[in-house]
Amino acid sequence: MGQGKSPSAGKGKPWRKRLSILLIASLFFSLATPAGYAQEQEEHLQVIIQYQDDIPEEPTRFGWLNVPVYDNVKDMENLNVRTASVPVSEMASLLADPGVLSVEEAVPFEFHETYPERFSGIGGGPNDDAPMWHNQMIGAYDAWEDGFTGEDVKVAVFDSGFFDHDDIDYAGGVSVIDEETDFTKDPNGHGTSVAGVIGSLPGTEAEGMASGVDLYGVKVSHQDEDGNNRVGDTSHIVQGIEWAIEEEMDIINLSLGWDDYLQNMHRVFQSAADEGILIVASSGNHGNDEGTGENMVYPAKFDEVIAVASLDPDKERAYYSSTGPENELAAPGGKGRGFQSEQIYTINNENAYSYMSGTSFASPHIAGLGALLMQRNPDWSATEIRQYMIDHAEDLGEPGRNELYGFGLASYQPAGDEPEVPELIYDGPLEIDVSEGASFEIPEVSVSHSEDLDVRVSLFDSDGNALDPDTFSTDIPGTYTWRFDAEDEAGNQAEPLFITVNVLETVDEEPPVIIYDGPLTFTVSYGAEFFLPDVTVEDNVDEDLTAEVMIQNEAGAVLDVLDTTEPGTYTLTYTAEDSAGNEAEPLVITVTVEEKEDTTPPELVYEGPTAITVAYGEGFTMPEVRVTDDTDEDLLPTVTIENEAGETLSAIDTTEPGTYTLTYTAEDSAGNEAEPLVITVTVEEKEDTTPPELVYEGPTEITVAYGEGFTIPEVSVTDDTDEDLLPTVTIENEAGETLSAIDTTEPGTYTLTYTAEDSAGNEAEPLVITVTVEEKEDTTPPELVYEGPTEITVAYGEGFTIPEVSVTDDTDEDLLPTVTIENEAGETLSAIDTTEPGTYTLTYTAEDSAGNEAEPLVITVTVEEKEDTTPPELVYEGPTEITVAYGEGFTIPEVSVTDDTDEDLLPTVTIENEAGETLSAIDTTEPGTYTLTYTAEDSAGNEAEPLVITVTVEEKEDTTPPELVYEGPTEITVAYGEGFTIPEVSVTDNTDEDLLPTVTIENEAGETLSAIDTTEPGTYTLTYTAEDSAGNEAEPLVITVTVEEKEAPSFSDVDERERFHLEIRYLAGLGIIGGYTDGRFGPDDVVTRGQAAIMIGRALGFDGEQRETSFPDVGMNTTFSGFVQEAADRGIIQGFPDGSYRPDAPVTRGQMAIFIARAFDLETEADADFSDVSPSMQSYSAVRLILHENITEGFPDGTFRPDNDVTRGQFSAFLSRTLNEDFRGMD
């Protein structure tokens, strides 16, 4: 609805969510670039900067040059706000400025109308005798009857501009738009229609509801170069607010909005409200038929702004009206659907009338109502006016304030018809101080009203939390707010009454007292039960205080409990402290715990054996015995040592064998004796450590014949202690096996090891006797063992291993055979070489240790002849590249084959042409390259390396020249400036195809040219030549082209009555401008951007050759493509932000001035100015430059009219005066 919400409309994001806006200069000028220069534009952001305090000086750079950093700077001193176009590269330093409170990017806004239908002239609106329903609903007719029209109230309408309609007067206004400085320009029409709702003059067809106001227009949007007429953002609103504060506006109406919360904008509106301005805004057109959801916009959502919802003639919410909790009031805004009579009738920007709808037209009804009330109540503040409208609003929808209608329909109430409003009566103080804990009674408040009304009481703490008034207590210090309300049956509410109650905290300086009437000293028997004495605490403020008790022993250590099994003196210290920190006088009680009476004897504790045996001379430690006692600690036993003779010893000597008695006793401090403990210690006799000795007088090495009888030698044992000891003998063979006896039929060496051990375990030195059983005599030969074939065939060169043969023997083990290798010649070899074919004999023999020889073993090995793997070789001594003349005889080259095995091999030859086709022979009448591939293969299948010979058959010799073919005239006459195409000439040849001629162009001076310029009269010679591939040249063809002299052009619509006829003819004669195909020039037609590029380009001598351009909407084939691109390359023109050139768009007089100033490098500005060209305009400098050169004098009324489109006649005048001073100063 309204203007239609684009995806980006109203989306405001702080700089920290960085957005980019690329600012690109317009066609002929740049925002910050002087005329005549081109400058690469840095990316900028339009931002709103909120400063902590005063706005600082504008930053500059480049030292003393003082070049401004920002563009489009506007400072709002009342708001401490600056709006500016800031380079992205400067944002970091701006945000780091400690004086900057915050920076936000400006966002676009939208208007809120939905139903624009226009009627021209009188009579298109409602019946003249019938009141307009919306003025009637808002109560305008009643206000007029009471004599109120808003007189002397200053109302500012922030909008698209304000057309100077016959039915409205403006007290003044301002445009904050640099592109449109006149606030009365309203190409959109929205602002005019909104202003008409408030201030159309009395008696006019669409009379405004407050026609007597001083109406001011604040233009915050404009129409851009693309024709968009709703271009504006929040930075413009900020500038407008500053103006409204400066001009002391009473009311501001904003029928516009954006989506997101902007903190800086909120501060701006807070500042305006603080100045006492009543601010009204439309809530938005984003609602739905169901009236659900929160879809309102800012600034209506700000607390400082009255948000206005829209009603239809039936006082129902218009389907489009936005909903949300911020809606405050409702007013007529039109149904948006249905009949014209259900919409808002108002003026438009065509000096006529329109039916409109939208919250855009509900908002000015509330602004107008505010003006009527301000006139009626000149002493009321904006806050009082706002509250009055709320208090007197007609409740709509759900009772009370709701998201669809706010408080309801606001309207003018005649003074005599105002409803009775309840009034709260209270003559007490509005702030009451009460001591903590003191009694308190709710203040008595009554109601003044014809009805018997009750007063509603609410209670809140300092955090705004609601409390129950009936349970209020002064026990908790703090600030409490009592709210009193009253409402009659009609819903009229009294002005709320607020009473503040401060519950003050009581200061307590009196300490508590510890109460105790018992003894201060106690004596307690050992182990007796003892309870800490009870004490109480009394305090003048705190109740239920208890004392803390600290228990300390004689050493001053603090204990958790008093243990009566620990005799000694204990101190109990009682303390107490109240909530104010006052400490009571400590109470000290002494408790003495008596010593315990002891009758229990101690006890000896020992867990070891009572009979101990100790080896002779072994170390011995007295057994450890502990003493336990129920009273004494650290008691030690007494021990007595006695030997067998009853003698008391100081220690046990373990070198003295015998029995010793250890008697342990103990006595406690009370004289109680423990039961004695007796431990017996036996020291053994001394140990035997002398080993026995083996006695043997025979030999220790004995040889026994095979099978001879053998008796184990006899060995005896002697010992210093034991008698009759016998030795032990162990028999082992060579393998280390233990035997029970020596078998003399088993030759070998046997070991007899004799040992002996006495009763004390002492072992004798072992005795070893070696017995050798001789071998039996051996007569049996060994035997060769082989299980493989005795005839073996081996391939030539194959690996071969001598067959493995083993040897068995009844006597010897590990015998190995001996092998002899012989060839067919009987020669003995060390190995078989399988690269030597033939038969080899392997003879194996073996002999045992007794000299017995085995039966020889013979194996025959045959090595086969070698296999043929060597390929044959092609032999050719001639060239491998042969050239043959066309048609000449040709013989296939002869190639032979050699092989190490086969004889008489012949090669095979394959013939292929360039196409890869196989041929049987080479035809020398077919020019081209042929490939002869020779191959050969021997009987073993080995292939020779192929041989390739290339044969080139030459082309037939060409001696016939080509011929130029042309059927046109050889003398051509061309009119001046007429298009001319080089005549087409073809070439024929008996050999070559697709030959093209070469053409040379010469002028009369003999100069060679690339083309004929038909704007240069004269005779030109075109000479065509051609040459075939054999170098044969065609007979040249000469064509003469005569370009006629130029005839001064004439146009059917340009005669001496045309103001600029001389300038038009002058430029036409120079070829800078031309007419239409119908013979007209069109002096009153506007100049398009494409035409401007051509004409300026021709004046500057551009060649205009068509070419690719950097603009997507200027194709290479357009007539002006070359002129546009060259002008762009020279920095004279630029494109639009979307990259387009828009060649069909018109050029204004201001743009034309900039264009000429840049193109012709004008440098000096005139001192005089035109009344409608201000320094803030982009064309200001350029206009002064052409004024200084007398290229323009402007209009008789002193204006230049920079926004007017330039006609072709005016363009001719500008350009002629620029090129020729004779035209300057002409009328």
* pLDDT tens column, 1169-1217: 888 888 888 888 888 988 888 888 888 888 989 889 999 888 888 888 8
Would you state the pLDDT for residue 455?
92
Would you report the helix, strand and coil content of the chain in percent, each value rounded to 5? 15, 30, 60
Contact 651, 613 (CB under 8 A): no
Bridge partners of 57, per DSSP, are none
User: Which whole number is the average pLDDT over 212-220?
Assistant: 96
Q: What is the 3-state secondary structure (H, E, C) of 262-315?
A: CHHHHHHHHHHHHCCCEEEEECCCCCCCCCCCCCCCECCCCCCCEEEEEECCCC
Whether 190 sits among the annotated catalytic residues: the reply is yes
Percent of the chain with pLDDT over 70: 93
Contact 54, 80 (CB under 8 A): yes
- Name the burial class of residue 655, with classes exposed (0-12), middle (13-18) and buried (19+) by CB atoms within 10 angstroms of its CB: exposed
Would you state the pLDDT for residue 645?
94
- Return d(Cα 1104, Cα 1014) in angstroms, integer: 14
Q: Which tokens is 537 given?
A: 């605490």
pLDDT band at 977 (very low <50, low <70, confident <90, very high): confident
pLDDT digits (tens, 9 = 90+) for 90-126: 898 899 899 999 999 999 999 887 755 443 333 345 5
Element of type H or E holding 683: strand 677-683
- Return d(Cα 680, Cα 1072) in angstroms, integer: 146
Whether 224 sits among the annotated catalytic residues: the reply is no
Would you state the pLDDT for residue 436?
87
pLDDT at 709 over 50: yes
- Return d(Cα 1162, Cα 1166) in angstroms, integer: 11
Contact 357, 113 (CB under 8 A): yes
- Return d(Cα 988, Cα 1028) in angstroms, integer: 9
pLDDT digits (tens, 9 = 90+) for 637-687: 999 999 999 999 999 999 899 999 999 999 988 889 999 999 999 998 877
What predicted TM-score, i.e. pTM, was given to this entire model?
0.41
pLDDT digits (tens, 9 = 90+) for 924-973: 989 999 999 999 998 889 999 999 999 999 888 888 899 999 999 999 99
Which one, of 748, 670, 761, lies nearest residue 719 by Cα? 761
pLDDT band at 176 (very low <50, low <70, confident <90, very high): very high
Would you state the pLDDT for residue 434?
92
- Name the burial class of residue 1209, with classes exposed (0-12), middle (13-18) and buried (19+) by CB atoms within 10 angstroms of its CB: buried
| Catalytic hit among 75, 159, 233, 259 | 159
Instruction: Tell me how crowded residue 314 is: count the other CB atoms within 10 A of its CB.
Output: 10
Bridge partners of 917, per DSSP, are none
Would you state the pLDDT for residue 418?
65
- Return d(Cα 27, Cα 198) in angstroms, integer: 40
- Return d(Cα 195, Cα 168) in angstroms, integer: 9
| Catalytic hit among 190, 222, 286, 392 | 190
414: cis peptide before it, omega within 30°? no
pLDDT digits (tens, 9 = 90+) for 48-105: 999 999 999 988 765 444 568 899 999 999 999 999 999 998 898 899 899 999 999 9
pLDDT at 3 over 90: no
Of residues 1200 and 278, the one with the higher pLDDT is: 278
pLDDT at 284 over 70: yes
Lowest mean pLDDT among 269-283, 406-420, 992-1006: 406-420
- Return d(Cα 1054, Cα 513) in angstroms, integer: 122
pLDDT digits (tens, 9 = 90+) for 15-28: 332 232 222 222 22
Contact 97, 76 (CB under 8 A): no
pLDDT digits (tens, 9 = 90+) for 332-346: 999 988 788 899 999
Would you state the pLDDT for residue 22?
25
| Catalytic hit among 360, 411, 1121, 1212 | 360
pLDDT at 266 over 50: yes
Helices (H), 637-784: none
DSSP 988-1050: E-SS--S---EEEEE-TT--EESS--TTS-EEEEEEEE-B-TT-PBPPPEEEEEEEPPPPPP-
Which one, of 897, 910, 909, lies nearest residue 938 by Cα? 897
- Return d(Cα 311, Cα 319) in angstroms, integer: 9
Lowest mean pLDDT among 731-735, 802-806, 997-1001, 1206-1210: 1206-1210
Report the mean per-residue pLDDT for the chain. 88
- Return d(Cα 800, Cα 818) in angstroms, integer: 18
Which one, of 233, 228, 284, lies nearest residue 262 by Cα? 233
**To which residue do tokens 């780091």 refer?**
96
Pairing of strands 587-593, 521-524: parallel
**Could you give the count of Cα atoms lying within 13 Å of 1195 in the half-sphere of its Cβ?**
11
Contact 1097, 1104 (CB under 8 A): yes
pLDDT at 734 over 80: yes
pLDDT band at 290 (very low <50, low <70, confident <90, very high): very high
- Return d(Cα 1081, Cα 1051) in angstroms, integer: 6
pLDDT digits (tens, 9 = 90+) for 240-259: 999 999 999 999 999 999 99
Q: How many residues does the chain have?
A: 1227
pLDDT at 4 over 60: no
Would you state the pLDDT for residue 2?
37
Would you state the pLDDT for residue 416?
60
pLDDT band at 1226 (very low <50, low <70, confident <90, very high): low
Whether 1061 sits among the annotated catalytic residues: the reply is no
Would you state the pLDDT for residue 129?
57
Backbone torsions φ then ψ of 954, nearest 5 degrees: -70, 155
- In the chain, how many H helices and how many E strands? 14, 67
Amino acid identity at 593: V
Would you state the pLDDT for residue 31?
26
